Structure formats: C-alpha cells, structure tokens
Amino acid sequence: MVPVNRLPALAGAAGMTFVGGSVAVSGALADAPLLTVQALRYALACLLLLLIFRKVTRPRGTEWLWLSGVVVTGMFVFNLALVLGSRHAEPAVLGVAVACVPVLLAVAGPVLEGRGVAPRLVLAAVVVTGGAALVQGFGRTDAIGLMWAVVTFLCEAGFTLLAVPLLGRHGPMGVSVHATWMAAVVFGLAGVVREGPAAVLRLHRDDVLAGVYLAVLVTAVAFVLWYTCVERIGSARAGLLTGIAPIAAAAAGVALGGPRPAPAVWLGVAVVAGGLALGLGSGQVARVAAEDERGDVDLHHRAVRVAEGG
C-alpha cells in the first residue's frame, strides 16, 4: 500500500506522464484547425468534470483575475507560443524552456503560499532542469524563437503559480472546472474569428480522436491530478515533477516506433531521478505532510485572502 503522504506526489507524477505522452498525439493535429480543436477539447473536459463534481463555488472579486491569468497565460498564450515558436526554433528549444519551470516554481511558489524559500528545493529544481534538458536535447533557434521560448517558460509557470491563491477556496476540481470553461470560451471566440464557424466541419477522425485524448487524460484528469499535488505538497515540490514530462514524451516516442534513446537521454533520466530524490525523498515528503497537518487552516485562510486581494 502506498503511504498516504506520497499520494499527492504520485498524482502529480501521473499528471505529468499524461502531459508528456500527449506530445506524440498533438502532432496528429498539425493540419487541423487548432483553435477550434482546443475549444472543443476544453469544453468536453469541462463537461466531464461537471458530471463528476457538480457543486462548483462561484469565483468572486479578484479570483476572476487569477482565473483569467491561468487561462490566458497557461492555456491560451502558451499554446500559441508553442505554435509560433516552432516556426523559428526546434522543438528541443521550447522543451528546454519548459524544463526551466521547476526553478521558478521553487522560488516564486513559496512566496505565494506564504512559505519560506527552501534552498534544498531550489537545488533540486536546478538538478531536475538539467536532467530534463539532457532528455530534451538542445536545438537551434533565432532571436524570435528565443523570445517565444521565454514566453513559453513564463506561461507554463503561470499555469501553476496563478492557480495557487485559488486552491484554498475552490480546490483542484473547482479550479479545473472554471479554467476549462473559460478556456473553451476564449479558444472558441478566437476560432470563430480566425478559422471560421465552419472549421469544426473540417475535422477528420484522427483529429477528433486526438482531441478526445487531450480532453480526457491531458485536461480533465491531468489538471485535477496536478492541482491536487500542488495543493497538498506545495508548488515548489510539485514543480520538480515537471521533469517527468520530457521522459514520458521520450518513452512515448519509442513506443510509437521512434529510435532508441541516446546515452545523453539515459543520463538525463538519471539526473532527473536524482533531483526528485533530493527534493521529494521520503523524509522531505513526510515533513511537508506534517507541516500541512499543522498549518492547513492558516494556509487556507492566507490563500483565500490573496485570491480576494486582501
């Protein structure tokens, strides 16, 4: 039986595995009307979440701003940055940019949560980032591609950081529900303007299947798993688990007939594992669980005050 205090970390790891495995699936949408597919993806994910979790707390005050930040940066601009950035940079460049997210979460996350920055977690984040970069590899880019890589990095971090003040009152499920319906509206409006109302009629069977996979596993399931992890062990520790995504992507590539991983990839996997052990060792996870038991109420009220602008 898995110790209770490790379940949140396993939830986060599972979520990142789904995200990493989606890289190959997303490639099937290269010729599809992307904005329309994304709108349908988030709409379906929201419907699935509402079927499971029917009671949703209505956002109030500045919570709407935090939610808008999650959607605009972590979902809308992030997806656009990946598309536009890929025209000027090789995929590895954008992958390395995302791999740098654990370091930012290790520093900024505790500030939003009212905790102190832990040097051990910052060091673990640097190690995980280095390992993830080895797994991704390094590619070529121009100045515009580098700019989009930075945007990708900031937006990926925003998806987690901007949700932190909301988790106290809405929980992982509530944040996921509101983020998905808002994303469906944003992508839907953009799709109508950019691709036209009839874009949905241009979808092929493979497009629909890929969209359903993204809606169910990479959105409805992965969002809840990820935010549950962030809520329970903190964004700094959860951020370390993003190093699992490139490993899952590499494994999915091999499973789909790609080449065997190069030695640098295996080295990267080992480095990521070392960083996770440093930041999420049994002693570390047990300690944060004990801290949460003592401080859950205080952190809950603090998160609510931050979300409401207090």
Give the pLDDT of the chain (310 residues) as one tens digit per residue: 445 458 899 999 999 998 887 776 776 777 889 899 999 999 999 999 999 887 889 999 999 999 999 999 999 998 888 888 878 877 777 788 888 899 999 999 998 888 889 999 999 999 999 998 888 887 788 889 889 989 999 999 999 999 999 999 999 999 999 999 999 999 999 999 999 999 999 998 988 998 999 999 999 999 999 999 999 999 999 999 999 988 888 887 777 777 788 888 899 999 999 999 999 875 555 455 444 444 444 444 445 554 555 5
Q: Are 210 and 29 in contact (CB under 8 A)?
A: yes
Task: Supply the pTM of this predicted model.
Answer: 0.86
Question: How long, in residues, is the chain?
Answer: 310
Question: Coil, helix or strand for 89?
Answer: strand
- Cα–Cα dist 174/167, whole Å: 8
Mind giving me the DSSP string for 206-218?
Answer: HHHHHHHHIIIII
Contacts of 20 (CB under 8 A, 6+ apart): 244, 245, 246, 247, 248, 249, 250, 251, 252
Name which of 227, 192, 225, 183 is nearest 41 in CA terms. 183
For residue 88, give the 3-state DSSP assignment. Answer: coil
pLDDT at residue number 307: 54
The phi, psi pair for 89, rounded to 5°, reads: -140, 150
d(CA 55, CA 280): 33
